[in-house]
Structure 1
């Protein structure tokens, strides 16, 4: 086991870990006739990475350091964000003074501008390329407000420009629900830590504990039942904290949430290698699921749930997360069931796979706990 762990750590440390929290910027567009009030919140840690804002290299950004470089921030945004209506670019007519705002994961620069379009905006197109060259995980979380209507979307720099068809009334509920289902699926698909936690669980769902080790379950049905219990425990637990966090009832610091998520992956991987958790495994999964729920809450909070309209987005986002989880189960569990009683399954898949996942999780835990990434 130690050999596997050492090899896994060597592989992980040999390349970039990409262990940091997804890099998010927050964009709000308030449309009124041919005028757009635009607000963009960008994390200082992301700006520092690209613009090297920390002049004295003391690992702390001061307001003075940021203020003197503000024109560069505005140029970066101008180069990375193009807003147009009916095929014609909207131009900046007014820029507000520099501001800072505090989000759950740290300080953000706030850039606010008024845009003028040639005619009343009916179709708003947003071409977003911020940090496209430096951070493949970056995304913009956009809200477009027009009268009583509100639309939300994720902006991925590698994608084509996003077009919003403006409405004068509230969105159709089914269409809105579908959008949040997609966002839930997308969120878990890019959340490598969530995926590896589930993979670690599914790899040994086809086994049961016996003494200090694992033995294959007697029937495929018992393996499916175990997987069902694990996924259900995870779902119920993360749904609880997802709802509480999205509603603003609980808001633990992002640093500790991300660190605990990494710890959950590490614990699951170690337990695969040498079972040490007493009691049913679904209970451990439920406890860690509570933590993962806080990790899921960020996108929902950013998509405007602070306005109090929780039920539909929560339902859609949760459905999307569950669909992504079920797809993962459908991909992994049949193969694991077929191989569960083969000696090579443990030797060539479970042990090296768990060691690799554990090594990566350990690196994430160190980076997130000590803000090294």
Structure 2
């Protein structure tokens, strides 16, 4: 039996740290509504995150109960509000819990709902935010924020590298954040390891073709390789955009675990197709079919934020544009180098075959973790 090269083992070791980065990012949903004295707030935080930080499961039986959560309401409020600093026109505002803690279901699990009021020294015209929740434990955590006044609101996405924001409360409009949504779409591709590896698994064969014996051979001209890449990337983007829009508008809803598991399975399929060709031609068709899954990856965030129709349209447009630009940047960096290396054994054996096997193995770890809710040592 013909053995695969040993290089995949080295590539697996190099790719192993990526397993820890490919889970669904931890999100919280923060809504701030302008009021006469400052703001009224609602903060939805995943119970699994709060349990990890505050050890809410008092009896340690692995089953978190409402009684255990409610008993720790003061600790939950203190922990959350201690990691959110708000200011009005540069003057610090004071946040105070308001009402009983509640729980709600989001697409990826159960969340605690913390209501609070924010009192500022004077009626605010500009809001300043400094958000530090969970960044010390999960660098991928995102704060999905909606700042609103009446029926108009602006979405914000805060991260470990962009934890502060200033929002002028005069003329609130989602279009003012259009550039930030474009940047979020680009980061979605660059920081979403599973999406990125899926894209590279599709791009690796673009500078090669199957000969009459079924073996990979280099293409003779750059033009056909570029055309193949354009078809693959455009099909992926179109499919990604369709399901992202449909899910964000509430037309389709799928459980987060199912979506994330299917994304991991799609990475395995795309990678192994380079080694054992299930789909010999029309890779853009496979890219479209599998790209439909990937659109759900970010859709739950927009849906759970509850944006009004106008804000949602602007957010979707900016985000999808960012996804396309992020993918084009990957293509520009990848394709010329791949074309130069296409005739070498390094490319055909180590990068295409070895790299594809390594990607598939890492994606198998993701699939096991997501489908079975496990935490494997590799990750």
What's the secondary structure of 1:316's corresponding residue?
A: helix
What's the secondary structure of 2:113's corresponding residue?
A: strand
- Deviation, 1:284, is 1.1
CA distance in 1, matches of 2:140, 2:97: 31
Choose from 136, 150, 154 the match for 2:153. 150
Report matched runs for 1:98-137 at 5 Å.
98-137=101-140
Name the CA shift for 1:262/1:306 in 2 (closer, same or farther; >3 Å).
Answer: farther
Residues 247, 308 of structure 1: 8 Å contact kept: no
CA distance in 2, matches of 1:2, 1:98: 56
Unaligned stretches of 5+ residues in structure 2? none
Choose from 285, 289, 292 the match for 1:290. 292
- Which shows bigger deviation, 135-144 or 336-345? 336-345
Residues 4, 355 of structure 1: 8 Å contact kept: no
CA distance in 1, matches of 2:17, 2:157: 32
Task: Summarize deviations over 1:337-371 as a string: whole Å, max 9, x none.
Answer: 11111222123322332222222111111101111
Residues 213, 275 of structure 1: 8 Å contact kept: no
CA distance in 2, matches of 1:115, 1:302: 23
Q: What is the match of residue 199 of structure 1?
A: 200
Q: Does 1:336 align with 2:338?
A: yes
Task: Summarize deviations over 1:34-70 as a string: whole Å, max 9, x none.
Answer: 3210111111111122222223333321111211222
CA distance in 1, matches of 2:326, 2:12: 28
Name the CA shift for 1:235/1:9 in 2 (closer, same or farther; >3 Å).
Answer: same
Residues 12, 359 of structure 1: 8 Å contact kept: no
Task: Summarize deviations over 1:210-268 as a string: whole Å, max 9, x none.
Answer: 34432211211110011011011111111111111010000100101111111111111
Q: Using structure 2 for the length normalisation, give the TM-score.
A: 0.91
CA distance in 1, matches of 2:269, 2:295: 17
Q: Does 1:139 align with 2:142?
A: yes
CA distance in 1, matches of 2:19, 2:236: 29
Residues 153, 311 of structure 2: 8 Å contact kept: no
Name the CA shift for 1:256/1:132 in 2 (closer, same or farther; >3 Å).
Answer: same
Unaligned stretches of 5+ residues in structure 1? none
What's the secondary structure of 2:112's corresponding residue?
A: strand
- Which shows bigger deviation, 110-119 or 263-272? 263-272
Over the aligned positions, Cα root-mean-square deviation in angstroms equals 2.1
Q: Does 1:44 align with 2:47?
A: yes
- Deviation, 1:16, is 6.3
Q: Does 1:34 align with 2:37?
A: yes
What's the secondary structure of 1:272's corresponding residue?
A: coil
Q: Does 1:190 align with 2:191?
A: yes
What's the secondary structure of 2:327's corresponding residue?
A: helix
Report matched runs for 1:17-32 at 5 Å.
17-32=20-35
What's the secondary structure of 2:237's corresponding residue?
A: helix
- Deviation, 1:115, is 1.2
